[in-house]
Amino acid sequence: MKIVVHDTASAMSDLLQRPLEERPDALREIYRPLQTAMSAVTGAADLDAVQMHQQMGSGFRIDREDPRYPTALGRMRDAGVWERIEDRLAAAWERLSGAMPPGTKSAETVHVILTLGNPDDHHLTVRSGGYFGLGGFPGAIHLVMWPNETSLAKIDHAAAHELHHNVRYANVVWDPGTVTVGEQVVAEGLAEAFVRELAGERAMGPWATTLSGAELDEAHAKITAGIDVAGMQNLTAYVHGDATAQLLGQRPVGLPDFAGYAAGLRIVDAHLAASGLTAAQSVALPARDILTSAGVPTRA
């Protein structure tokens, strides 16, 4: 696998110096490396990068000047964010490639695009700790961040989390019509367990570690009861929590933020203990196998 971390720092700096009317096309050029891989998976050849960036990706605004943006880019450059992402992904791929069973597939090239987030986006800066990623399309990883203490420390670990997804979905079929809660929470639990294998518990994202005690017990019970719920439009509340579901116009089910990550990690930990495998070794295992190993019943 060849991993290409694109120099979006220079590209975004150039974009921010352009007239506002030129910025949409400049943004599309930044996202161009992701277009082919994402379009191949989604079937949406006309996927619009500007719409994805603004409406789905919590990205920085391109319709106005904002003096915070150049300063934020400077902080990210000073922290060596792009170099750290490259180094972390190299280590992550070394771990994965050495652990994957023979015949496990992966993209030949993975393009990594990091973009600046919108500091006024509550979902990004508060709910998500200032950073998140999308890596379920083989060959493409998109990371977004607004620099703060947490995101600057952990954005490279988020890249490793997304690389685990990238390899998983080169092997596991992800169909938006049939994907289940079980698949989604297992995938998130595996990816966070993989981050822990690479860099320890402190590297894990806040989404996987904030729930504990009775609150986690209750979330785990509700999620495992809905483990066979299918269809992407029904999953957000189970995985990301009610607030995110409502943000996307989906039905809440009575779960806190990112409950599916914490419950998924509990399920995966039970699987790892029962099987003796690692998260890297489990990257391509069907969710049903992991759920069964963890003692979570599913419909036959």
Residues 274-292 have pLDDT tens digits of: 999 999 999 999 999 999 9
Tell whether 240 and 264 lie within a shared domain. yes
- Predicted pLDDT of residue 284: 97
What integer pLDDT is reported at residue 1 of this predicted model? 96
Average pLDDT of the residues in 177-201: 97
- pLDDT the model gives residue 288: 96
What CA dihedral angle connects 87, 134, 165 and 236, to 10 degrees? 150
Number of neighbours of residue 279 by Cβ within 10 angstroms: 25
58 and 101 share a domain? Answer: yes
pLDDT score, position 196: 98
pLDDT band, very low/low/confident/very high, at 98 (cuts 50, 70, 90): very high
The verdict on 6 and 89 lying in the same domain is yes
Q: Give the pLDDT score at 27.
A: 96
Dist. CA 142–CA 57, nearest whole Å: 9
In one-letter notation, the amino acid at residue 211 is: L
Parallel/antiparallel/unpaired status of strands 140-145 and 131-137: antiparallel
Nearest-CA neighbor of 256 among 296, 222, 286, 284? Answer: 222
Which among 67, 56, 64 is positioned nearest to 115, based on CA atoms? Answer: 56
On whether both 211 and 243 belong to a single domain, the answer is yes
Say how many domains are in the chain.
2
CA dist 1 and 49 (Å) reads: 25
| Domain around 4 | 1-171
Same-domain status, 167 and 179: no
Q: What would the pLDDT profile of 213-226 be if each residue is shown by its tens digit?
A: 999 999 999 999 99
User: pLDDT-based confidence at 44, cuts 50/70/90?
Assistant: low
Mean pLDDT of the chain: 94
Residue that terminates a domain, selected from 124, 155, 171: 171
Q: Are 184 and 156 part of one and the same domain?
A: no
CA–CA dist 256, 238 (Å, integer): 9
The helix (H) or strand (E) run that includes residue 144 is strand 140-145
Name the pLDDT band for 298 (thresholds 50, 70, 90).
Answer: confident
- pLDDT single digits (tens) 127-182: 899 999 999 999 999 999 999 999 999 999 999 999 999 999 999 998 989 999 99
pLDDT band at 48 (very low <50, low <70, confident <90, very high): confident
**Based on the domain organization, do 144 and 278 belong to the same domain?**
no
| The residue to which tokens 């919590």 are assigned | 58
Q: What is the pLDDT of residue 110?
A: 97
The answer on pLDDT for 38 being more than 90 is: no
Q: Work out whether the CA dihedral 96, 229, 122, 144 comes out positive or negative.
A: positive
Last residue of a domain, one of 105, 137, 171: 171
Is residue 35 domain-shared with residue 182, that is, in the same domain?
no
The pLDDT value given to residue 299: 80
Domain boundary, last residue among 153, 171, 189: 171
Half-sphere CA count of 156, side-chain side, radius 13 A: 20
Looking at residue 51, its pLDDT comes to 80
**Cβ-based neighbour number of residue 122 at 10 Å:** 12
